[in-house]
Structure 1
Amino acid sequence: MKHFFQFERYNTTYRKETVAGITTFLTMAYIIIVNPAILEAAGIPRGPSTTATIVAAVFGTVVMALYANRPFAIAPYMSENAFIAFTVVKVLGYSWQTALGAVFVAGVLFTVLTVFKVRSWLAEAIPLSLKCAFAVGIGLFLTFIGLNETGLVTLGVPGAPVKMGNIASPSVLLAVFGYLLTVFLMTRKIHGAIVIGIVATTVLSVACGVTPMPTEFVSMPPDLSPILFQLNIGDALDIRFFPVVLTIFIMAFLDTVGTLIGLSMRADLLDEKGNLPEIEKPMLADALATTVAPLLGTTTTGAYIESATGIEEGGRTGFTALVVAGLFLMSLFFAPLFTIVPPHAYGIALIVIGSFMIEPLRRIDFEDFTELVPAFLTIVLMIFTYNIGVGMSTGLLTYPLLKTAAGKRHQVSAGMWVLAGLAVLLFVFFPKM
Structure 2
Amino acid sequence: MNGGERLRRSIDSYFGIQEAGSTIRRECMAGCITFIAMAYIIIVNPSILKDAGMPFGAAMAATILTAFFGTLVMGIYANRPFGVAPYMGENAFVAYTVCGVLGYSWQTALGAIFVSGVLFTLLTVTKWRVVFTGAVSVSMKNAIAAGIGLFITFVGLIQSGIITTGVEGEPLMIGDLQDPALIVAVAGFLLIGVLMVRKVHGALLIGIIVTALLAFISGVAPPPEAVVSLPPSVAETFLQLDIAGVFTWGMFAVVLSVFTMDLLDTMGTLIGVSARAGFLDENGNLPHAEKPFLADALATTVGALLGTTTTGAYVESVTGIEAGGRTGLTAVVVSLLFLAGLFFYPLFIAVPPQATGAAMVFIGLILMTSVGNIRFDDYTESVPAFIVITMMAFTYNIGVGLCAGFVLFPFFKVISGRFRDVSPAGWLLCGLCLLFFVFYPY
Structure 2 residue identity aligned to 1:332:
L
Q: Any idea what the Cα deviations from partners look like across 1:230-285, whole Å, max 9, x if unmatched?
A: 10111112333211111111111010000000000011100000000000100000
Instruction: Select between 203-212 and 62-71 the one with higher mean Cα deviation.
Output: 203-212
Residue aligning to 2:329: 319
Partner of residue 226, structure 1 = 236
- Partner residue, 2:88: 78
2:33 to 16, 23, 29: 23
Query: Which residue type is aligned with residue 406 of structure 2?
Result: L
Correspondence 1:206 to 2:219: no
CA–CA separation in structure 2 for the residues paired with 1:352 and 1:93? 39
Give CA deviations for 1:366-398 in whole Å, capped at 9, x if unaligned: 111001100001001111111111111011000
Q: Which residue of 2 aligns with 1:333?
A: 343
Match for 2:180 among 160, 170, 185? 170
Contact map agreement 2:97 2:441 (CA 8 A) in 1:
no
Write the distance in 1 (CA, Å) between the matches of 2:276 and 2:289: 15
Q: Distance in 1 between matches of 2:428 and 2:129?
A: 11
Residue matched to 2:7: none
- Is residue 159 from structure 1 mapped to residue 142 from structure 2 by the alignment? no
Any residues of structure 2 matched to 1:11-50 within 5 Å, and which? 11-50=21-60
| Separation in structure 2 between the aligned mates of residue 230 and residue 79 of structure 1, nearest angstrom | 22
Q: Distance in 1 between matches of 2:389 and 2:215?
A: 34
Q: 1:216 and 1:366 mapped to 2: Cα distance?
A: 53
Q: Is the 8 A contact 2:52 2:99 kept in 1?
A: yes
* Mapped partners of 1:66, 1:34: distance in 2: 27
The match for 1:375 is 385
Distance 1:131 1:241 in 2: 31
Q: Distance in 2 between matches of 1:102 and 1:187?
A: 46
Q: State the alpha-carbon separation in 2 of the partners of residues 48 and 222 from structure 1.
A: 6
Task: Give the alignment partner of residue 143 of structure 1, picking from 147, 153, 164.
Answer: 153
Structure 2 Cα separation of the partners of residues 224 and 424 of structure 1: 38
* Residues 315-364 of structure 1: CA deviation (Å, up to 9, x unaligned): 11111111111111111001000111000000011001111112221211
**What amino acid sits opposite 2:211 in the alignment?**
T
Q: Which residue of 2 aligns with 1:393?
A: 403
Give, in whole Å, the separation in 2 of the partners of 1:295 and 1:281: 21
Aligned-partner residue type, residue 97 of structure 1: Q
* Aligned mates of 1:371, 1:214 — CA distance in 2: 49
Please state how far the C-alpha of 1:431 moved relative to its aligned partner: 5.6
State the partner residue of 1:346.
356
Residue 248 (str. 1) matches residue 258 (str. 2): yes
Q: Take 1:100 and 1:230, find their aligned partners in 2: how far apart are those partners?
A: 8
AA matched with 1:420: C
AA aligned opposite 1:146: G
Q: TM-score, normalised by structure 1?
A: 0.98
Inter-partner Cα distance in structure 1 for 2:26 and 2:438 = 45
User: In structure 1, the residue corresponding to 2:72 is in which secondary structure?
Assistant: helix
Measured in 1, the distance between the counterparts of 2:94 and 2:322 equals 32
User: Are 2:125 and 1:115 aligned?
Assistant: yes
> Which of 423, 426, 433 is residue 423 of structure 1 equivalent to?
433
Partner SS, residue 68 of structure 1: coil
Shift of 1:215: 2.4
User: 1:145 is aligned with what amino acid?
Assistant: V
Residues in 1 aligned to 2:223 and 2:398: alpha-carbon distance in whole angstroms? 34
**Are 2:253 and 2:441, in contact at CA under 8 Å, matched by a contact in 1?**
no
CA distance in 1 between counterparts of 2:224 and 2:147 reads 36
Residue 6 of structure 2 corresponds to none
Q: Which piece of structure 1 moves more, 208-217 or 325-334?
A: 208-217
Alpha-carbon displacement from aligned partner over 1:108-165 (angstroms, at most 9, x marks no partner):
0000010000000011111111100000000111111111011111112221111111
Given the alignment of the two structures, is residue 269 of structure 1 paired with residue 279 of structure 2, yes or no? yes
Distance 1:144 1:94 in 2: 31
SS at match of 1:155: strand
Contact 2:61 2:231 in 1 (8 A): yes
Deviations 1:11-43 (A, max 9, x none): 011122111111111111111111001101111
Cross-structure match for 2:99: 89
Tell me which residue corresponds to 1:405: 415
CA distance in structure 1 between the partners assigned to 2:205 and 2:312 by the alignment: 23
Greater Cα shift, 208-217 or 40-49 = 208-217
Q: Residue type of the partner of 1:65?
A: G
2:160 touches 2:185 (CA, 8 Å); kept in 1? Answer: yes
CA contact (8 A) 2:87 2:309 kept: yes
Following the alignment from structure 1 to structure 2, what is the Cα–Cα distance between the partners of residues 431 and 333? 38
Show structure 2 runs of 5+ residues with no match.
Answer: 1-10
Contact 2:188 2:211 in 1 (8 A): yes
Q: Distance in 1 between matches of 2:420 and 2:325?
A: 39
TM-score normalized with structure 2 length:
0.96
Q: Which letter does structure 2 place at the counterpart of 1:117? A: K
Aligned partners of 2:68 and 2:339 also within 8 Å: yes
Give me the identity figure in percent. Answer: 54
Q: Retained in 1: the 8 A contact 2:254–2:441? A: no
Q: Is the counterpart of residue 131 in structure 1 residue 141 in structure 2?
A: yes
Which AA in structure 1 matches 2:110?
L
Distance (Å, rounded) in 1 between the aligned partners of 2:423 and 2:184: 49
- Aligned pair 1:285/2:295, yes or no? yes
The corresponding residue for 1:303 is: 313
